């Protein structure tokens, strides 16, 4: 028989005895005990049962827990409960059960509880202070819930007493607000891991951090609204390995003291307002550094030579800062490097100063939007693991070397907007890069001839090809028909002549075709209406293709359409056909109505004649329809009123006549959509329709009449505009900026 005792006794000493008998005693005495112990002095095991049932009572959705957690039964058998040999509950593990309701403070009174995991539920309310005051709890994980309110501030008497055994606290991904309470932090002297990321915490990082938490090893403050500067005390975190504080509003410089935290392996402060430069003198002290992520700040200065001493460095992310200078040759000593992202800075100089052959693990290199000059260094081609290389929008020149064919893992190559020459050579040498999935080489090779060479072949994995903005002469080359995996083809803003070839319809995966701003002539081939992916409303799965080597996304780096618009996957691009600004003649083929998947159709600035086919009304996914500046005649078909997603419509500068349709999206289009058609009339046009011309139109179904203000249409309009603005914006920048 074991004695009853008060659970405030620190050691929880219990007499030996079968756990079952101890619990059965507690169960039997439960009602009596509650009477006898108004101050909470009770059997430790009995307290467990009481606390657990209080927790259960606090839930509004217990997801069936109550069927297991029945009062009067042995709680060591309850779902999610682990007991020790003495029958005391040591672990409560209830993650991912769909629990709703509040977390009962009673859980903090369980005398032997070591681990409490309530993560990935929908618990709400505050985090009870009792949990942080527990004298037993080592690990508390309440991440991924809906907890709100402030983090509890512990009484100052707890600070520094070293009585809180807690080592791991994960409150991340909730809706907690307020400051990180300094006294609570100071009270948790044994803390090893603290994760408060992805909440709405404000104020500054407590300056006392690490003063009383000498064991702190991982600190994640990211995705909050913390402001102020990076506290110098972080330098006193002698055990700190992981420090993440990205996506906050921190400002000021990285304090020199940070370089005292020499055990740091992972420093990440992306998307703050940090300024200043990396310390050339002290950077090398961070010998253990594996990840350095300072992207999206206001950093200036260069990459110091001393970076070469960081032999364990694998990931260097400095994109979107104001850094400058040349890359230090010493970078070639960072032999563990896998990822180097320097996009959108002011770095300059010749990359040949770095010997890339000593960086065999490189996988991702992004130097987009800097001021680098010179040729692509030959040493880069020995990086056989390189998957993504982006050098776009710099001042590189020269011809591509055959060495690039040695990059057997290269899936993504963007050289857009440089001064590379000899496109024939480029396409010849790149065909031996077997994994190439995305090739963006537009805005180079200015004024050259489109290679017609039939020996351009291979490219078995190629999904996205841009050769736009090159002013290339010649025809759409036959070798394109061999690119059997091609999904997106950008040939806009060249000087291509000849017809739009019918064989394009053989590209069974193609869903983006942009040949705008060329001099293509002849009729629109009806064969285009056979393009399978444009006929289908489904999208191709990125991962679903026969190449095997391209089982990962075609965009390992986000592709930028504008500073704030990026595509992470190739198949997120809208399905589009852009034949605008050419010399196309003949009629708009009615067969185009089969391209049910199309979201954007642009036939503007050509010499197309005849009527707008009724069948265009079948393109129900259309968001953008631009038929402007042609010689189209007749009336706008009423069938177009059924295009409910249409948010941009332009038939200006044709020879259309008759009334502007009144239903569907038509009341949302500005008069400029119809301008330059002297025969047209409508409420928004100078020329009002006479009764006769209105009657000449087809009789409107009753439900359409005057519905422009009606609920149904308003919904469609709002949605359409919402979808359309984004899409239109893509489209506008798509042709000019595909980095
Ligand atoms: C559990 O059962 C005891 C005795 O039957 C009772 O006093 C107590 O209120 C019950 N607890 C809960 C949470 O229902
Ligand atoms: C809590 O449970 C989740 C889900 O099983 C798990 O991912 C997480 O690692 C656990 N937390 C701790 C601190 O062990
Ligand atoms: C909470 O954080 C701890 C420590 O970083 C981690 O082990 C645990 O997996 C996290 N919980 C979840 C649900 O991710
Ligand atoms: C903190 O938690 C988030 C999820 O809420 C997780 O993504 C992150 O990796 C965790 N940080 C650390 C350092 O474990
Ligand atoms: C932040 O929390 C939300 C809601 O729990 C979650 O959906 C999201 O994935 C989290 N973000 C990160 C970066 O962990
Ligand atoms: C920091 O945030 C707090 C709370 O949001 C605010 O009161 C304070 O003015 C901010 N300080 C700075 C320097 O922005
Ligand atoms: C790039 O170089 C040009 C010419 O040398 C200079 O005008 C420009 O400011 C530089 N751009 C950046 C971002 O440093
Ligand atoms: C092309 O690159 C230059 C820098 O070389 C940059 O200034 C310009 O904005 C880029 N153009 C586009 C359209 O990205
Ligand atoms: C362009 O490349 C082709 C094929 O590599 C080569 O035959 C030709 O001489 C090159 N042209 C110039 C001007 O260098
Ligand atoms: C059309 O292409 C030519 C090159 O052929 C280019 O100079 C011009 O800027 C392009 N126009 C537009 C609007 O992109
Ligand atoms: C259609 O193409 C023409 C010519 O390239 C262009 O000027 C126009 O902006 C495009 N329309 C839309 C809606 O993008
Ligand atoms: C348009 O749809 C109608 C009705 O579904 C169908 O009869 C007609 O053939 C379609 N036209 C085209 C060109 O697909």
Share of the chain above pLDDT 90, in %: 74
- Residue 731 predicted with pLDDT over 60: no
Share of the chain above pLDDT 70, in %: 83
In contact, 422 and 448? CB cutoff 8 Å: yes
- 371 Cβ below 6 A of ligand 7: yes
Q: Which pLDDT does position 28 carry in this prediction?
A: 44
- 232 Cβ below 6 A of ligand 2: no
**Averaged pLDDT, 106-121:** 97
pLDDT tens per residue, range 653-684: 999 999 999 888 998 999 999 999 999 998 88
Q: Which pLDDT does position 136 carry in this prediction?
A: 95
Which residue out of 346, 349, 367 has the highest number of ligand 7 atoms within 8 Å of its CB and is therefore the one to mutate?
346
- 173 Cβ below 6 A of ligand 4: yes
Q: Which pLDDT does position 710 carry in this prediction?
A: 34
| CATH number, domain 47-136, options 1.20.1250.20, 3.40.630.10, 3.80.10.10, 3.90.79.10 | 3.80.10.10
Which ligand 3 atom is the nearest neighbour of the CA of 220?
5
Whose tokens are 């009484």? That residue is 155
Of residues 269 and 727, the one with the higher pLDDT is: 269
- Residue 202 predicted with pLDDT over 60: yes
Kindly state the tokens that stand for 652.
């200006």
The answer to whether the 399-505+517-535 and 585-681 domains have the same CATH topology is yes
CATH of domain 399-505+517-535: 3.80.10.10
Q: How far is the CA of 614 from the centre of ligand 12 (A)?
A: 9
**Averaged pLDDT, 476-501:** 96
In contact, 555 and 585? CB cutoff 8 Å: no
Q: For the chain, what is the radius of gyration of the CA atoms?
A: 33
- Residue 291 predicted with pLDDT over 80: yes
Which residue out of 370, 414, 416, 417 has the highest number of ligand 8 atoms within 8 Å of its CB and is therefore the one to mutate?
417
- Residue 408 predicted with pLDDT over 90: yes
Q: Which pLDDT does position 692 carry in this prediction?
A: 58
- 265 Cβ below 6 A of ligand 4: no
Of residues 330 and 692, the one with the higher pLDDT is: 330
Q: Which residues contact 73 (CB under 8 A, 6 or more apart)?
A: none
pLDDT tens per residue, range 126-151: 999 999 999 999 999 999 999 999 99
pLDDT tens per residue, range 280-289: 999 999 999 9
Q: Which pLDDT does position 159 carry in this prediction?
A: 63
Residue 417: nearest ligand to its CA? 8
- The whole-angstrom separation of Cα 91 and Cα 519 is 73
**Mutual orientation of helices 19-36 and 44-57 as an angle, nearest 10°?**
70
Which ligand 5 atom is the nearest neighbour of the CA of 173?
2
**Averaged pLDDT, 557-571:** 67
| CATH number, domain 585-681, options 1.20.1270.360, 3.80.10.10, 3.40.640.10, 3.50.50.60 | 3.80.10.10
Nearest CA to ligand 12 atom 5: 618
C-beta neighbour count of 245 within 10 angstroms: 23
- Determine whether 555 is exposed, middle or buried from the number of CB atoms within 10 Å of its CB (0-12, 13-18, 19+): buried
Nearest CA to ligand 5 atom 10: 173
pLDDT band at 24 (very low <50, low <70, confident <90, very high): very low
Least confident of 53-57, 142-146, 423-427, 453-457: 453-457
> In the chain, where are the structural domains located?
47-136, 399-505+517-535, 585-681
In contact, 45 and 76? CB cutoff 8 Å: no
**Averaged pLDDT, 587-599:** 96
Q: Which pLDDT does position 12 carry in this prediction?
A: 37
Q: How far is the CA of 449 from the centre of ligand 11 (A)?
A: 25
pLDDT tens per residue, range 419-444: 999 999 999 999 988 899 999 999 99
- Residue 716 predicted with pLDDT over 50: no
Q: Kindly report the pTM of this predicted structure.
A: 0.87
- The whole-angstrom separation of Cα 175 and Cα 147 is 6
Reduce the secondary structure of 43-91 to three states and give it as a string: CHHHHHHHHHHHHHHCEEECCCHHHHCCCCCCHHHCCCEEECCCCCEEE
- The whole-angstrom separation of Cα 464 and Cα 387 is 15
Q: Which residues contact 512 (CB under 8 A, 6 or more apart)?
A: 487, 488, 489, 490, 573, 574, 575, 576
Least confident of 73-77, 176-180, 558-562, 585-589: 558-562
**Averaged pLDDT, 397-402:** 96
Which residue out of 80, 113, 115, 119 has the highest number of ligand 2 atoms within 8 Å of its CB and is therefore the one to mutate?
119
Arithmetic mean of pLDDT over the chain: 86
């Amino acid at each position: 028989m074991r004695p009853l005792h008060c659970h405030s006794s620190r050691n929880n000493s219990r007499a030996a005895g079968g756990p079952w008998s101890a619990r059965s005693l507690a169960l039997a005495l439960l009602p009596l005990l509650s009477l006898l112990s108004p101050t909470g002095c009770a059997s430790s095991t009995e307290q467990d049962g009481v606390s657990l049932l209080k927790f259960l009572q606090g839930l509004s959705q217990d997801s069936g827990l109550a069927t297991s957690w029945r009062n009067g039964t042995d709680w060591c058998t309850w779902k999610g409960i682990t007991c020790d040999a003495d029958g005391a509950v040591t672990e409560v593990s209830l993650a991912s059960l769909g629990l709703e309701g509040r977390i009962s403070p009673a859980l903090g009174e369980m005398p032997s509880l070591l681990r409490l995991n309530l993560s990935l539920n929908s618990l709400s309310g505050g985090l009870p202070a009792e949990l942080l005051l527990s004298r037993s709890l080592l690990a508390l994980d309440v991440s991924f819930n809906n907890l709100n309110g402030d983090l509890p501030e512990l009484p100052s008497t707890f600070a520094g007493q070293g009585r809180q055994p807690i080592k791991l606290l994960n409150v991340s991904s909730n809706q907690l607000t307020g400051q990180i309470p300094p006294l609570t932090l100071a009270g948790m002297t044994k803390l090893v891991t603290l994760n408060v990321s992805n909440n709405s915490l404000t104020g500054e990082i407590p300056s006392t951090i690490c003063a009383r938490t000498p064991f702190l090893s991982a600190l994640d403050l990211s995705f909050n609204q913390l402001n102020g500067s990076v506290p110098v005390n972080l330098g006193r975190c002698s055990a700190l390995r992981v420090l993440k504080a990205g996506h906050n509003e921190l400002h000021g410089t990285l304090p020199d003291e940070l370089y005292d935290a020499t055990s740091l392996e992972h420093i990440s402060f992306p998307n703050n307002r940090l300024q200043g430069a990396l310390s050339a003198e002290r950077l090398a002290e961070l010998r253990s550094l594996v990840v350095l992520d300072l992207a999206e700040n206001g950093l200036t200065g260069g990459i110091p030579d001393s970076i070469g001493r960081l032999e364990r460095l694998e990931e260097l992310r400095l994109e979107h800062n104001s850094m400058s200078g040349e890359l230090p040759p010493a970078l070639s000593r960072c032999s563990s490097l896998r990822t180097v992202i320097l996009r959108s800075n002011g770095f300059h100089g010749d990359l040949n100063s770095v010997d890339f052959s000593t960086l065999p693990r490189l996988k991702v290199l992004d130097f987009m939007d800097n001021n680098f000059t010179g040729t692509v260094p030959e040493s880069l081609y020995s990086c056989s693991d390189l998957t993504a290389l982006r050098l776009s929008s710099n001042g590189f020149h020269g011809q591509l070397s055959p060495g690039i064919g040695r990059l057997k893992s290269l899936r993504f190559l963007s050289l857009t907007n440089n001064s590379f020459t000899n496109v024939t050579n480029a396409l010849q040498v790149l065909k031996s890069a077997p994994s190439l999935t995305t090739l963006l080489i537009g805005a180079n090779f200015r004024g050259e001839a489109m290679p017609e060479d039939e020996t351009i072949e291979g490219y078995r994995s190629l999904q996205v090809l841009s050769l736009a903005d090159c002013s290339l002469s010649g025809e759409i080359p036959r070798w394109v028909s061999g690119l059997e995996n091609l999904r997106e083809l950008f040939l806009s803003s060249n000087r291509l002549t000849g017809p739009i070839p019918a064989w394009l319809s053989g590209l069974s995966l193609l869903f983006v075709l942009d040949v705008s701003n060329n001099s293509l002539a002849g009729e629109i081939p009806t064969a285009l209406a056979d393009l399978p992916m444009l006929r289908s409303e489904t999208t191709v799965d990125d991962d679903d293709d026969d190449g095997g080597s391209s089982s990962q996304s075609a965009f390992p780096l986000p592709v930028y359409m504008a500073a704030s618009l990026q595509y992470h996957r190739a198949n997120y691009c809208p399905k589009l056909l852009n034949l605008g600004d050419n010399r196309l003649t003949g009629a708009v083929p009615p067969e185009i109505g089969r391209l049910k998947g199309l979201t954007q159709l642009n036939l503007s600035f050509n010499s197309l004649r005849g009527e707008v086919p009724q069948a265009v009304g079948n393109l129900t996914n259309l968001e953008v329809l631009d038929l402007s500046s042609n010689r189209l005649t007749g009336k706008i078909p009423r069938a177009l009123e059924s295009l409910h997603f249409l948010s941009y419509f332009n038939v200006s500068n044709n020879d259309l006549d008759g009334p502007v349709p009144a239903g569907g999206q038509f009341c949302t289009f500005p008069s400029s959509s119809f301008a330059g058609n002297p025969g047209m009339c409508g409420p928004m046009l100078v020329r009002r329709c006479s009764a006769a011309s209105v009657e000449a139109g087809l009789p409107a179904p009753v439900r359409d009449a005057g519905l422009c203000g009606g609920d149904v249409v308003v919904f469609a309009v709002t949605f359409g505009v919402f979808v359309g603005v984004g899409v239109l914006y893509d489209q506008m920048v798509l042709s000019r900026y595909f980095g």
